[in-house]
Every structure is written in C-alpha cells, then in structure tokens.
Amino acid sequence: MKIMTGNANLPLAEDIASYLEMPLTDASVRRFADEEVFVEIHENVRGEDVFVIQSTPAPANDNLMELLIMIDALKRSSARRITAVVPYYGYARQDRKPGPRTPISAKLVANLITTAGADRVLSVDLHAGQIQGFFDIPTDNLYGAPVMAEDIKARFDIGNLTIVSPDVGGVVRARALAKRLDNAPLAIVDKRRERAGESEVMNIIGDVDGRFCILIDDIVDSAGTLCNAAAALTEAGASKALAYCTHGVLSGGAVARVQNSVLEELVITDSIQLSADASSNGVRKLTIAPLLGEAIRRIADESSVSSLFD
C-alpha cells in the first residue's frame, strides 16, 4: 500500500500517513510557467495499492485537475489499484437539475475521476447520498457524525442538548447525530432560500426554549444559513447555539459573519485545510485523519468499512 497526496490539504495527508505509520509517496505535484499541472512520481508503484488523498476545495478546478493527473500518472505507472480519497467532494451541490438548461456537475466530476483511472472512491459526508450512484466504481461515503458525537460528549453536558438541522434537507444527518447522543431531541429550522447563497429563516419546528442547541450541517460556505438559524434559535428561547459542520468552505466573509453572529462556536473538520484567518477567529478544527486512516487500512485489508459506524 502507498499513500500519495496533492497540494489541496497536505497537513491532513501527513496526519493520515502518521496514523498508518507509513511515509507519503515521493512525488512532485507542481505547475509549469503557464500554470498547467505537472506530476512526477519518484518511486516505483508497479503492482501497488495506491490511495490518492486530494480534496477539491477552492481553487476547485486546480485541485480537481491535480487529482485527475495524479490518477493518470499512477495508472500509466502500472499501479494495481487506485483509490481516490476525496474528503471534500467539490461540485457536489450540483447534484440535480433545479431548472432548465443546467448541468449535473456532480455526475460530470464522477465521470472524470472514473475515466482518469480510479478504481475506487472514498469520501466524507457527500452532500447528497445519491452521488454514490453517480460512480460506476465502488464508492465509500464515510460519516463525520461519530467524530462529532465523541467530541460533543467529551466537552458538553448532553442532558439539556437539542440537535438542530438548519434546513429540512439535513434532517437525516441531524437525526443520525442525535441518535449517537443518547437520542437527544431534534429540531428543524424551516427556511426559504430566495437566491443562491442567501436564506431567510421562517420558523422553528420543535421546542428549543431553554435548550442548549447544536446546529449540524455538512457544508458551511457563506455561513448565512447557520448564522440566521442561530439567531432564530436564540429568539425562540435557546440558551445558546453552536454549530458543527464537516466541510468548512468558508468563502467570502464567512468567518467575519460567524464572528458577528450569536453562534458561540463553529467546529469544522479538517477535510478542507483551515485558513489562518479562520483559526485565529475562534473556528475550531476537529480532525478526521484517524477516521480516514482506518478506512484506508480496512480497504487495503479487504475488511469491513461500514463496521466503523456500528
């Protein structure tokens, strides 16, 4: 088995390699003068089971091209099996046609990864479960809920806890976390989204008066939804509100928006490398390196991955 990485999230790749007690594959992933991606592998990978670790956050296109070219380089170097480990799967929010003449980019990216030569895909908290079906190769979707639940139990008294989904679409995710927290009560924020990146909170479904509320979501991008939801929870009588999210995209003024909101804390995993601005402004990182490392070990050993969540 070998572990290879691009430039999207080197600290996470190093932590995974450390968990597996093995070095990263010696390779160069750099740019020509015109910004074309160039990959060169400096050690023999013939017949190896290779795991390529590469999230696809901003700049999404650059990171995606790095992933595709690394896979192609491994395929042409006669690797026995290539697994694309994509902790954050970019373009996942374009998973259907919301209107006429729009793309399904999540399927297009799945096709690109498969065509490049990947034999398997490993990701974390895909934005929509059906994306697994976009691939014609085995695809494992890991869940951040066990890592979050462990952190919540270690840091908070869960006796007065309510898990909150910031929208109707995230209810399944919120319910899964609530189940791990001794079946904590569940609430839902009903919202109306007028346009992409903006949301208007309408009302709260469930009793949050006097409760300690934790918002749970897969992606925090502009943070508008989370901040509006936290404000609505506070207005409904919640004692305090904080948020746990898997993928911290944090685009634009998201960090400042969180800082100026009623959210007491935002906790995100390291599926995307945390910026210095975010880490210095109270956004806390929760590592998923052991989760990914163990999944990689089990895939290499041909043992059960789903038992990680039992």
User: What residues form DSSP beta bridges with 4?
Assistant: 52
Q: What 3-state class would DSSP assign to 148?
A: helix
Asked whether residue 49 is marked as a ligand-binding residue, the answer is no
Angstrom distance (rounded) from CA 66 to CA 72: 10
Which residues 6+ apart lie within 8 Å of 144 measured at CB? Answer: 124, 125, 218, 246, 269, 288, 291
DSSP state of 286: E
42 is in an annotated binding site: no
Are 221 and 203 in contact by the 8 Å Cβ rule? The answer is: no
Q: Was 221 annotated as part of a binding site? A: yes
Is 35 known as a binding-site position?
yes
Q: Give the active site residue among 75, 153, 179, 191.
A: 191
94 is in an annotated binding site: yes
Residue 303 CA from chain centroid, whole number: 23
- How is residue 126 written in tokens? 């895909």
Has 170 been labeled as part of a binding site?
Answer: no
Q: Is 193 annotated as a binding residue?
A: yes
| 173 three-class SS | helix
Does 191 qualify as catalytic in the annotation?
Answer: yes
Q: CA-based Rg of the chain, rounded to a whole angstrom?
A: 20
- Residue 225 annotated in ligand binding: yes
Flag whether 237 is marked binding.
no
Beta-bridge mates of residue 164: 187, 215
222 annotated to bind ligand: yes
Residue 217 among known ligand-binding residues:
yes
Q: Residues forming the annotated binding site?
A: 34-36, 93-94, 127, 167, 193, 217, 221-225
- Known binding-site positions for Mg(2+): 127, 167
Mind telling me the catalytic residues? 191
- Which parts are annotated binding residues for ATP? 34-36, 93-94
Residue ranges of the binding site for D-ribose 5-phosphate: 193, 217, 221-225
